[in-house]
Structure 1
Amino acid sequence: MKSIAVFCGSSSGNDPYIVKESYELGLTMAKKNITLVYGAAKIGIMGRVAEAVLENNGKAIGVIPKFLQTKEIVHDGLTDLIVTENMHDRKVIMYEKSDGFIIIPGGFGTMDEFFEITTWGQLGLHTKPIGILNINGYYDALISQCKTMVERGFLKQENFDAVVMDDTIEGILEKMNNYVPLPAPKWLNKEGL
C-alpha cells in the first residue's frame, strides 16, 4: 500500500494513550513511505497523525469540504490540500487517493466514513482493505455490535471478516498488506463508483 486513508476524530478525546498511538501511526506511515490521506485538520487526533507524518518527512494529503475550510481547522503544512464541494465528494476523493483505510478513534463522522467505505466494499464497489485499529479497546463495543448483527442474520460473517482488526499498528498494517478481497457479489452489475 502506497497510500492509506485514516478516518479519525477532529477531537483529541480524553485518553492520552489514543493521542500517543495516533502520533505513532503517523510516524510508522512516514517510516514505511505510506502517504496519509485524511480530513485535512490540524486539530484533534487527525492533526496528531498528520503532524507525525510531516515531522518525519512523509506525505500528507488533506481533503476537506469548502464549508469546513477555515484557518483554525485546516493544516497549513500539507503536501497537498484538496477542497471539495461537500462531504460526499470528500469521501469519494479520499477513496480514490487511497489503497486502503484505517479507522482509529473518532465520533459520528468517523463512523459515517467507516460504514460508508465498508458498505461500498460489501457491495463490491471496491476491493481495498479496511482496518480497525482498536486502540485501547475503543472499538470493542462496535466489534461486539457487528457480531450481534451476524448472530441475528443482518450481516454475513464473510462481510464482517472482510474488515481486518488489530490493536497494534504493525499488526493492522500486516493484516491489510495480506488482505484477500471477497469476490464481487454475483447479483451486482454496477461498474465501480
Structure 2
Amino acid sequence: MNIRGVSLDDFYAVTNDVSRRAYEGNVIVAPEARWSRRSSFNARLRVVNSRGPGARTAASGRHGPYACWHAYRDVLWQMFVANPDATARTALATYRGQSGFERDYPATRYRVVGSVAYPVSMAALCVAEGCGAEGPPFLRVPDECDPRPLAAEGSDDVLARIERELRQAEIAPPEPMVFEGPVSLLDAPDLAYSGR
C-alpha cells in the first residue's frame, strides 16, 4: 500500500503498538518498506508466525506471512486517528482521511478474493478464531451504536419497515447472485432471459 501524510517512522510505531496490544507482537511492517517519493512510502504488513494472531491464509488456503483484514483495519485505523488527513492507497480501495477510511473500509470485509469456483471473502481468511473481534469502535454492529430506537417488528409504518430492513442489510454479508434461466449454446447464461 502507498501511504501519504505519515512518516515511515510513525507508521512503524503505530504498527508495533497495535501489534503488541492486539496481536501478541505477531504483526510487523515488511522489511521492504521504503519511501517512494518525498511525501509517500510503500509498505505492507506481515506476520512473524503464519499460524498466529493477525495471520491469514491465501485464497487457496496456503499459509504464508500474510496479515489479515483485521490487522490492516486496526493498524490503519490507529494511523488515521493519529493523522486524520493521511491517505492510504491499497489494492482494495483508496482511503482519504479518517472519515474516508471509516466510511469505506468496512465494505471491503466482504470483498471476494477467491476464484470463481471457490469464492472467499477477505475476513474469512483469518487463521485465528475470533480474530479482530475487539476492533475499532466504528465497526460495531449498527444496532448497538445507532442511538435511534428500532421500530417494533409488527409496526405497519412504511419508513420503520424500510429502516429495519436497511439495518439488517448492513449486518448481513451480501448474497451471491444466481442466474435462473436457460443456458445458451455456448454454456453461458443467456442474459435475454434474466429477470423473467
Answer whether TM exceeds 0.5 for this pair: no
TM-score by length of 2: 0.31
Bigger helix fraction: 1
Larger radius of gyration, structure 1 or 2?
Answer: 2
